[in-house]
């Protein structure tokens, strides 16, 4: 007998058909109504058919058949877990990306989290007037400080700036121009009309996220390797 499962399938279907005819359309079998019993038999038949098909395809390659079966079991489990936790997947992905890209802001409602960078600072990707600007958290800076290049990217009128403010930078004492930024956004946090300084070319390598922005927030704190900022509603 080359395909015993096929004969078993045919026998099971024949027995089920006889039982359904003998008991009548409204009678129950094993505690199930005729419709429920027919559905159960159908499912069993499908399983037997699939089993016989798999064994027929992989008669002498049982290990390969087992590998294929396990693969689909894992896929089914992943799909089931993904479906059950579908509402949490975006937040999980956001956290993973934040760990991989330290400057990336992970938003959770009105709260934004930034991971500490390898240098020990907190690199923060900021949108200034719609332009992406790389900054570093600096609580010692009284205002947001932009490099000349960042100010140009943000579309600020560099040709009319007056560098009248004295500032201390890593390259020594310099001068900066006072401006008001229309919009600063970090993740879900958006602040408007933020005072800032623009330093002269070559005085600063990286823009600074200073207190003129942080003081606008409802709260902010550094805990371990996380910078957490919370904006007002």
Bigger pLDDT: 108 vs 181: 181
The predicted model gives 168-193 an average pLDDT of: 90
Closest to 197 in 3D by CA, of 219, 183, 212? 212
- Each residue's pLDDT tens digit, 29-60: 444 454 555 555 555 555 555 665 566 565 55
Q: Which of 196, 215, 189, 218 is nearest to 124 (CA)?
A: 189
Q: State the pLDDT at residue 26.
A: 47
**pLDDT at residue 55 in the model:** 60
Q: Mean pLDDT throughout 71-88?
A: 59
Distances (CA, A) of 4 to 22, 45, 201, 202, 207: 27, 14, 84, 83, 76
pLDDT at 98 over 80: no
Better pLDDT: 90 or 199:
199
Q: Go through the domains of the chain in sequence order and give each one's CATH number.
A: 4-84 (no CATH), 91-230 (2.40.70.10)
The per-residue pLDDT for range 103-121, each reduced to its tens digit, is 467 778 899 999 898 888 9
Task: Examine the pLDDT at 88 and tell me if it is beyond 60.
Answer: no
What does the mean pLDDT of the chain come to?
76
Cβ-count burial 198-215 (b if 16+ within 10 Å, e if not): bbbeebbebbbbbbbbbe
> Radius of gyration (Cα) for the chain, nearest Å?
33
Q: Report pLDDT for 28.
A: 47
SS3 label, residue 2:
coil
Maximum C-alpha span of the chain? 101
Q: What pLDDT was estimated at residue 30?
A: 47
What digits encode the pLDDT tens for the residues 123-148? Answer: 999 999 999 999 999 999 999 999 99
């Amino acid at each position: 007998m080359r395909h015993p499962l096929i004969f078993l399938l045919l026998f099971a279907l024949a027995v089920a058909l006889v039982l359904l005819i003998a008991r009548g359309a409204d009678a129950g079998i094993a505690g199930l109504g005729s419709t429920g019993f027919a559905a159960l038999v159908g499912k069993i038949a499908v399983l037997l058919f699939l089993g016989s098909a798999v064994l027929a395809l992989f008669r002498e390659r049982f290990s390969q058949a087992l590998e294929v079966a396990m693969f689909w079991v894992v896929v089914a489990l992943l799909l089931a877990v993904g479906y059950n936790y579908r509402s949490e997947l975006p937040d999980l992905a956001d956290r993973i990306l934040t760990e991989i890209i330290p400057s990336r802001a992970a938003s959770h409602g009105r709260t934004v989290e930034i991971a500490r960078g390898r240098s020990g600072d907190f690199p923060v990707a900021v949108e200034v007037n719609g332009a992406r600007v790389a900054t570093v958290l600096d609580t010692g800076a009284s205002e947001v400080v932009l490099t000349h290049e960042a100010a140009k990217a943000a579309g600020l009128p560099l040709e009319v700036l007056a560098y009248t403010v004295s500032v201390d930078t890593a390259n020594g004492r310099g001068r900066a121009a006072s401006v008001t930024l229309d919009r600063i956004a970090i993740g879900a946090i958006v602040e408007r009309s933020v005072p800032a300084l623009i330093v002269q070319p070559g005085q600063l390598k990286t823009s600074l996220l200073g207190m003129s922005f942080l003081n606008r927030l409802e709260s902010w704190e550094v805990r371990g390797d996380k910078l957490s900022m919370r904006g007002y509603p």
